[in-house]
Amino acid sequence: MALYKNSQVVKHSDHAAFDAIHNPGIAAPDAGIYRCINCSHEIGIAKGHTLPPQHQNHPDGVAIKWQMVAFAQHK
3-state SS, residue 60: coil
Q: Which is nearer to Zn ion, 38 or 73 (CB)?
A: 38
As measured in angstroms, the least distance from the Cβ of 50 to Zn ion is: 15
d(CA 55, CA 64): 9
CA nearest neighbour of 39 among 21, 55, 23, 16: 55
**Nearest position to Zn ion, beta carbon:** 36
As measured in angstroms, the least distance from the Cβ of 14 to Zn ion is: 25
Task: Give, as ranges, the residues between 9 and 68 that touch Zn ion (CB under 5 A).
Answer: 36, 39, 41, 58
